[in-house]
Amino acid sequence: MGRRPPSGTGDLPIARRTRTRDRDERPCDDVAPRPRASSPSHPAPQRFEIVLEHRFVDPDVRKIVKRLVRYGHEAYLVGGCVRDLLLGRQPKDFDLATSAEPEHVRSLFRNSRIIGRRFRLVHVLFHGKKQVEVATFRRTPQTDDLEEGAPIRSDNEFGSAYQDAHRRDFTINALFYDIEANQILDWVGGMQDVQRRIVRTIDDPVVRFHEDPVRLLRAIKFAGRLDLGLDPDVYEAIVSCRETLRQAARPRVAEEILRLMRGGQARRSIYIAWETGVLDVLLPELSGLLYEADHDGSPGARLWRQLDYIDRRHQDGDQLDDTVLWTLLLLETMKEACEGQRDRASAVGEFLEGLVDRLAITRRSADGMRRIVAGLPRLLSGRPGRLSRSESYPMLLDVAEADRISEGRSIKVLEQLRREYHAGPRDREPDTDE
């Protein structure tokens, strides 16, 4: 399932080559260990010389790392920000991992606070409400205390950089970047997987998915959002372990479904979830529609076009409300539930009862979905009336626009209504059931 490997990190826009060409991205076995390297009781990482251009790394992050190192601690960029930089993407935030315990980090930065109960982290605060998360290296629970494949209930023990890398879920998320040495530290083969553009778990994927079933959805999210392939073993494990999602915490599952749609690749992500059978477990109502998407006018075909709409809005820089995302994902099934019903709001409410319980959809989103679907016919007629003064009206316009586009119909009326909305008064009436 892996995609064709790129020609090398030289093709990535934010990683530039260092030294001579024959040394690009080679493991730096000939580089002497730095004084703050990980404990000698653990295997040494492979080191890759990569200079990430300064303009892509937050200067406040660099200051934090330099101060921690100056006081004798290990400190690295970790996780998704390193992965994104290597893939040529601008990270949305930067996470740091360090050997310093939270109290030590707090003592070095007056502009910081310790948060969390299950596991303490430090947020270093800057102007403009910016904060940088600094975490102490962690390790997974001792094998004596945890049966292989049993769900992880606690992840609350400090460890080393090596242990911190191995407790992570996927190899591409377990790379550490040493800002001062301009080196990637790799204990898990993540650099090779970045180059191959595949998602691969650390250790046996079946065991990792049984430990935390939400990792199935995370694998799909990374493959979809980052345009990566799934390692064949990971793909097979997703298929064989998909039923474990029924055991996962419902709010976490609901949040991961939303993340599948937020990253600009909603169509690809939902397709992978459907192809692997994950959608059969989570949303069998939706999966059934897609199996019947055999002609252009079918509900399943319209759903794919509605997901395309979500992706286009993301590319345009618009962040659709979670209620809109849920509504578009389930719109065709809700429209079917309304067929032959005079009270559309009640029909949608009854349909959503099981889903709200199964996926822990928030009451705010469920109420919003009910009002949006009930108001669609009036809005599409071009006569919104009191709807245009409601707080949910912008969301209703978004859903109506996606619905019209999915049917191949004109949206001129909706564009005019949107212009009138933006030109109108700012005071809006609270949503109420009529």
Rounded to whole angstroms, the Cα distance separating 14 from 51 reads 9
pLDDT at 31: 35
pLDDT at 36: 44
Rounded to whole angstroms, the Cα distance separating 253 from 244 reads 11
Catalytic residue among 24, 60, 93, 367: 93
Decide: 290 and 274 in contact? Cβ < 8 Å.
yes
Residues 6+ apart with CB under 8 A from 270: 224, 260, 261, 279, 307, 329
pLDDT at 386: 87
Residues 6+ apart with CB under 8 A from 232: 1, 2
Sign for the pseudo-dihedral over CA of 353, 354, 358, 359: negative
Rounded to whole angstroms, the Cα distance separating 431 from 322 reads 17
pLDDT at 92: 87
**Where do we find the tokens 């911190």?**
164
Catalytic residue among 58, 95, 186, 231: 95
For domain 253-423, the question of CATH label 3.40.50.1370 is answered with no
Catalytic residue among 58, 84, 169, 178: 169
Whether residue 95 lies in the annotated active site: yes
3-class DSSP state of 20: coil
For domain 9-196, the question of CATH label 3.40.50.1820 is answered with no
Decide: 253 and 282 in contact? Cβ < 8 Å.
yes
**Token pair belonging to 410:** 């004109």
**Token pair belonging to 391:** 């707080």
- Residue 107 carries which side chain, given as an amino acid letter? S
Which among 356, 386, 382, 383 has a CA at the least distance from the CA of 369? 356
Domain parsing of the chain, residue ranges:
9-196, 253-423
What is the chain's pLDDT, residue by residue, as a tens digit (434 residues)? 443 333 333 444 333 333 333 333 434 443 333 444 444 578 899 999 998 877 788 999 999 999 999 999 999 999 999 999 999 898 988 999 999 999 999 999 999 999 987 788 999 999 988 999 999 999 987 655 545 555 554 456 899 999 999 999 999 999 999 999 999 999 999 999 999 999 999 999 999 999 999 999 999 999 999 999 999 999 999 999 999 999 999 999 999 999 999 999 999 999 999 999 999 999 999 999 998 877 788 999 999 999 999 999 999 999 999 999 999 999 999 999 999 888 999 999 999 998 888 899 999 999 999 999 999 999 988 888 888 889 999 999 999 999 999 999 999 999 999 998 888 765 555 666 55
Rounded to whole angstroms, the Cα distance separating 34 from 401 reads 57
Whether residue 178 lies in the annotated active site: no
Helix axes 363-380, 322-338, angle to 10 degrees: 60
pTM here? 0.84
Whether residue 427 lies in the annotated active site: no
Which among 289, 282, 199, 204 has a CA at the least distance from the CA of 243? 282
3-class DSSP state of 46: strand
3-class DSSP state of 44: coil
